């Protein structure tokens, strides 16, 4: 049974639509969609520059001092993923052979792997870049895999739900082509604080959803949101 969640606090007023020109595939093919009323799972990524793996499987440095916070809400029944991404200290132009340079890859920690979802690149002035929105599958990345098909072909969000640790979030720039920052997906509990009866506490309770990137203030370790009543 699906549980409803409130919308996460927006980290930007508009969804960024920029993409790397290297792909030759317009990101408009992956249109923004309305946020669903409920989600089947939720994930966070705390991305750092010391976890970058290149296509040969070698560890290489990312951008020193940079960090990334990726927050995902998934409705796998409808193949919708909503994202809030905040990059700090990422500089320079984005670059990737995919349609954009910001991805979820199917890749375990310490391993390379193909991108399965390509997100709008975070944009902004100064040290912070953000993007947020929702996308619906079938997903395309604009990158051709070894089988001659787009690396998003056949991908389902249920694959993330089955093995979130097997997926990573990252972004790439011209100077750090293998990645500026990277981190594995970690599931965020959907139910909040459990009651003695086995259910979630009432709608006025506060829940920690565990991602600093949702907060507007830098350095917030945990974000608290108020869970709304279930919607039909």
Per the model's pLDDT, the better-predicted residue between 217 and 71 turns out to be 71
Helix (H) or strand (E) holding 44: strand 41-47
pLDDT number for residue 4: 41
Mean of per-residue pLDDT scores for the chain: 78
Query: pLDDT tens digits, residue range 118-139?
Result: 999 999 988 999 999 999 999 9
Q: Half-sphere exposure of residue 212, counting CA atoms within 13 Å on the CB side?
A: 12
Per the model's pLDDT, the better-predicted residue between 220 and 93 turns out to be 93
**CA–CA separation, 117 and 220 (whole Å):** 27
Per the model's pLDDT, the better-predicted residue between 232 and 61 turns out to be 61
Q: What is the CA radius of gyration of the chain?
A: 17
């Amino acid at each position: 049974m699906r549980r409803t969640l409130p919308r996460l606090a927006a980290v930007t007023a508009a969804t960024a639509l920029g993409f790397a020109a290297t792909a030759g595939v317009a990101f408009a093919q992956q249109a923004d969609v309305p946020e669903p009323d409920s989600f089947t799972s939720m994930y966070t990524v705390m991305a750092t520059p010391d976890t970058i793996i290149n296509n040969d499987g070698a560890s290489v440095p990312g951008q020193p001092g940079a960090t990334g916070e990726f927050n995902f809400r998934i409705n796998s029944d409808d193949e919708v993923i909503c994202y809030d991404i905040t990059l700090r200290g990422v500089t320079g132009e984005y670059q990737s052979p995919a349609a954009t340079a910001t991805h979820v890859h199917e890749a375990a920690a310490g391993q390379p792997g193909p991108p399965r979802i390509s997100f709008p690149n975070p944009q902004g002035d100064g040290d912070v870049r953000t993007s947020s929105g929702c996308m619906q599958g079938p997903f395309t990345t604009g990158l051709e895999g070894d089988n001659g098909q787009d690396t998003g072909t056949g991908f389902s969000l249920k694959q993330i739900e089955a093995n979130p640790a097997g997926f990573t979030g990252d972004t790439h720039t011209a100077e750090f082509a293998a990645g500026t920052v990277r981190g594995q997906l970690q599931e965020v509990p959907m139910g909040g604080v459990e009651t003695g009866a086995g259910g979630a506490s009432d709608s006025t309770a506060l829940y920690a959803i565990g991602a600093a990137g949702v907060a507007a203030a830098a350095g917030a370790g945990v974000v608290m949101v108020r869970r709304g009543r279930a919607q039909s």
